[in-house]
Amino acid sequence: MKKALLLLLLLMAPGAQAAIETHQFDTPEQEAHYEKLIKELRCLVCQNQNLADSNADLAKDLRRQTYEQVKKGKTEDQVVDYMVARYGDFVRYKPAFKPLTWALWLGPFVILAFGLIVLMRFVRSRQTEPDNEIDEEKLKKARELLGDN
Partner 1 sequence: MNKKLVYLAPLILLAVMMWFLVRGLSLNPRDVPSPLVGKPAPEFTLPLLNQPGKTFSTKDKLGQVWLFNVWASWCSGCRTEHENLVYMKRTGRFDIVGMDYKDHDADAKNWLNTLGNPYEMVAVDRQGDVGIDWGVYGVPETFVVDKKGIIRYKYTGPITPEGINNILLPLVEKLEAES
Contacts to partner 1 by CB under 8 A: 44-45, 47, 57-58, 61-62, 65, 84-90
C-alpha 141 chain-centroid distance: 66
Of 73 and 115, which has the nearer Cβ to partner 1? 115
Of 25 and 46, which has the nearer Cβ to partner 1? 46
CB of 43 to partner 1, least distance (A): 9
Of 52 and 58, which has the nearer Cβ to partner 1? 58
Of 50 and 65, which has the nearer Cβ to partner 1? 65
CB of 59 to partner 1, least distance (A): 10
Residues 6+ apart with CB under 8 A from 127: none
CB of 84 to partner 1, least distance (A): 7
Q: CA-CA-CA-CA torsion for 90, 91, 96, 100, nearest 10 degrees?
A: -10
CB of 124 to partner 1, least distance (A): 16
Is residue 62 within 8 Å of residue 41, measured between CB atoms? yes
CB of 1 to partner 1, least distance (A): 45
Q: What is the DSSP letter of 90?
A: G
Of 64 and 141, which has the nearer Cβ to partner 1? 64
Closest CA to 26 of 84, 58, 95, 73: 73
Residues 6+ apart with CB under 8 A from 149: 143
